[in-house]
Amino acid sequence: MATDNIVTQLIAAIRADQSIPDDDQDFTPTVDLFDYGYLDSFGVVSLIAQVSETYGVDMTRLDFYAPEYRTVDGIAAYISANKAA
């Protein structure tokens, strides 16, 4: 699965889970999901469960403290690099 497909799927999942409107121009693959308020601790738990179920990749809340995993692009890269074969 290409990273672009993962990005598209993550954006759709986060939009649906966090009720982010389609016309929210700040919600991009490179925005810091925490600094802009798109994810909080409850959203992270939901996202971790979805990543595990959908891609077979285990992430923890601690992973999201790393700056490179605070964006959709970063999470997609992590999934792409660690997904189950």
> What would the pLDDT profile of 48-73 be if each residue is shown by its tens digit?
999 999 999 999 988 888 999 999 99
What is the pLDDT, as a whole number, of residue 64?
Answer: 87
- pTM (2 d.p.): 0.91
* Average pLDDT score over the chain: 93
What is the pLDDT, as a whole number, of residue 81?
Answer: 93
Mean pLDDT of 65-85: 90
Tell me: pLDDT of 1 over 60: no
CA angle 38, 44, 49 (to 5 degrees): 130
Q: Note whether 57 and 51 are within 8 A (CB).
A: yes
What is the pLDDT, as a whole number, of residue 3?
Answer: 84
Sequence-distant (6+) residues with CB within 8 A of 78 are 57, 59, 63, 68, 69
- At the topology level, CATH places domain 3-19+28-82 in 1.10.1200
Count the neighbouring beta carbons within 10 Å of the beta carbon of residue 44.
17
